[in-house]
Amino acid sequence: MLDRHITPFIQRAISGVARAAVNVGLKADHITLIAFGLGLFAMISIAFHAYSMAAILLLASRICDALDGAVARLTQPTDAGGFLDITLDFLFYAGIVLAFAVADPLARALPAAVLLAAFIGTGSSFLAFAALAAKRGITSMAYPGKSFYFLGGLTEGTETLIAFIAMCIWPEWFAEIAYGFAALCATTITTRIVAGYFTLKK
């Protein structure tokens, strides 16, 4: 829901950094891998209860995730790069939730499982529609710079990052945040299924 409003601001903020990255020879795929590497360190930090460090790494990872797209647009976006980016993003989101469960399996296993199930719903509805939209040549006006059609929803990347940061700030409230965010994801799943079905049926 917030991504389409936040993305233009972020793109303007990192445009200079993106140009500098291109000038020193950094490729978009390199930055995608750096973003995922930072995410892995965030997962490790969470698993060892270093939540403040995890929050910093989470933010750094998502800044790099925005930067790789900016660099790609300044050079030459590729299908391979788009595939790598979205695949590692989904692994990142799942890995963060898993790390919270690893940190306290007795208290967090069930809410983590519920949230991961919700992520499967949001991810599958998102990717299934993107694949069929590409087959039909349907493009997104809200996210024209993306590698494929982004079907929006109540819970997108910005909302997910906010939830993760909240979990790091208040880890004792992980279960409540996880259940609440899973409920919001359920709304996104429902709206995506309905919107996607009727869009493709036309």
- The pLDDT score that the predictor gives to residue 49 is 98
The mean pLDDT of 97-115, rounded to a whole number, is 98
The mean pLDDT of 51-69, rounded to a whole number, is 95
Is the pLDDT at 5 greater than 80, yes or no? no
- The pLDDT score that the predictor gives to residue 18 is 84
Range scoring the smallest mean pLDDT among 22-36, 60-74, 133-147: 133-147
Max intra-chain CA distance, the chain: 50
- The pLDDT score that the predictor gives to residue 152 is 66
Residue 2 and residue 55: Cα distance in Å, rounded?
A: 20
* The CATH number of domain 3-201, selected from 3.40.640.10, 1.10.357.10, 1.10.10.10, 1.20.120.1760: 1.20.120.1760
What is the three-class DSSP state of 147? Answer: coil
Which of 115, 144, 127, 123 is CA-nearest to residue 4?
A: 144
Mind listing the pLDDT tens digit for each residue in 109-160?
999 999 999 999 999 998 888 888 878 777 664 555 555 556 667 788 889 9
- pLDDT level of residue 161 (50, 70, 90 thresholds): very high
The conformation of residue 192, written as its DSSP 8-state character, comes to: H
Tell whether pTM > 0.85.
yes
- Could you list the beta-strand ranges (E) of the chain: none
- The pLDDT score that the predictor gives to residue 141 is 47
Range scoring the smallest mean pLDDT among 36-40, 89-93, 155-159, 181-185: 155-159
Which amino acid is residue 126, in one-letter code?
F
The mean pLDDT of 179-186, rounded to a whole number, is 97
Domain spans in the chain, listed from the N-terminal domain onward: 3-201
Side-chain-side CA neighbours of 39 within 13 Å: the count stands at 25
Is the pLDDT at 62 greater than 70, yes or no? yes
Which of 23, 31, 105 is CA-nearest to residue 39?
A: 31
Q: Please name the residues in contact with 190: beta carbons below 8 A apart, sequence gap of 6 or more.
A: none
Average pLDDT, the chain: 88
The mean pLDDT of 67-73, rounded to a whole number, is 89
Which amino acid is residue 1, in one-letter code?
M
Considering only residues 147 and 39, tell me which one the structure prediction assigns the higher pLDDT: 39
Contact (CB, 8 A) for 118 and 181: yes
The mean pLDDT of 177-183, rounded to a whole number, is 97
